[in-house]
Amino acid sequence: DVKVTQSSRYLVKRTGEKVFLECVQDMDHENMFWYRQDPGLGLRLIYFSYDVKMKEKGDIPEGYSVSREKKERFSLILESASTNQTSMYLCASSSSSHSGNTIYFGEGSWLTVV
Amino acid sequence: QKEVEQNSGPLSVPEGAIASLNCTYSDRVSQSFFWYRQYSGKSPELIMSIYSNGDKEDGRFTAQLNKASQYVSLLIRDSQPSDSATYLCAAGGTSYGKLTFGQGTILTVHP
């Protein structure tokens, strides 16, 4: 089974703090994604990566950055957290080589910025 | 702007009935389509994927794809209270496995 692990499940941070959200997948997937999910807005893509050290902006990259130094790990960084970044963050991964482009999600990280 | 639109819901059906969830997509180059189920407070889990026109059945679930009409649907037969969740439709093209998600439809199956 594919496993996508988000190490931080629940975080409370202060405005202006730097926040790191870590994600690890164990299926040697090429592609990794960060989404945020808000009521009424659905899933919105923040950033994705299709290879080590490669990254592409998604639909809402402002205020975020990412890092992918190893194939299995994809980090989301909030350089200076703001209250409008309070949300659930979902990491996901997929393979480019088979199963179409089925995306598998981690369990989610709930971030509250106060 | 690539869009995926789902019937707005919420949808309420009695136990044992057929639940019908619908989705349209705007990007004609989309090649793969997915239905995810998301329970409250949980992350989305894959139910069905479909790539070719027609029907695909898996247990009580049937996905239907009509590329000419840019339409995808999910039928849930013999609906159970445990099917109560938000259902997300997603469409993907060839770009690095990116999927575009719809807003989701909340389904409630009442006993």
Has residue A107 got a pLDDT over 90?
A: yes
Query: d(Cα B90, Cα B72) in Å, to the nearest integer?
Result: 9
Give contacts of B56 with chain A, Cβ < 8 Å: none
List the single residue in B with minimal CA-CA distance to A54.
B96
Q: Return the pLDDT at A42.
A: 85
Q: Which stretch of A12-21, A62-71, B99-108 has the lowest confidence by average pLDDT?
A: B99-108
CB contact under 8 A, B88 and A43: yes
Instruction: For residue B7, give the amino acid letter.
Output: N
Q: Which stretch of A97-106, B21-30, B37-46, B72-81 has the lowest confidence by average pLDDT?
A: A97-106
Has residue B36 got a pLDDT over 60?
A: yes
CB contact under 8 A, A103 and B99: yes
- Cα B10–chain centre separation: 14
Q: Return the pLDDT at B11.
A: 94
Cα A25 to Cα A5, A91, A110, distances in angstroms: 6, 9, 19
A42: contact with B, CB 8 A cutoff: yes
A56: contact with B, CB 8 A cutoff: yes
Give contacts of A103 with chain B, Cβ < 8 Å: 34, 46, 90, 97, 99
Between positions 11 and 30 of B, the ones with CB within 8 A of A are: none
Q: How many C-beta neighbours within 10 Å does residue B7 have?
A: 17
> Under 8 Å CB-to-CB from A82, ≥6 apart: which residues?
A15, A63, A113
Interface A-B: count of C-beta contacts within 8 A = 55
B98: contact with A, CB 8 A cutoff: yes
Q: Which stretch of A87-101, B8-22, B55-69 has the lowest confidence by average pLDDT?
A: A87-101
What proportion of chain B, given as a percentage, has pLDDT over 70? 95
A100: contact with B, CB 8 A cutoff: yes
Tell me the average pLDDT across A96-104: 72
Q: Return the pLDDT at B93.
A: 74
Tell me the average pLDDT across A86-110: 87
A45: contact with B, CB 8 A cutoff: yes
Has residue B30 got a pLDDT over 80?
A: yes
CB contact under 8 A, A45 and B90: no
- Collapsing DSSP to helix, strand or coil, B82 comes out as helix
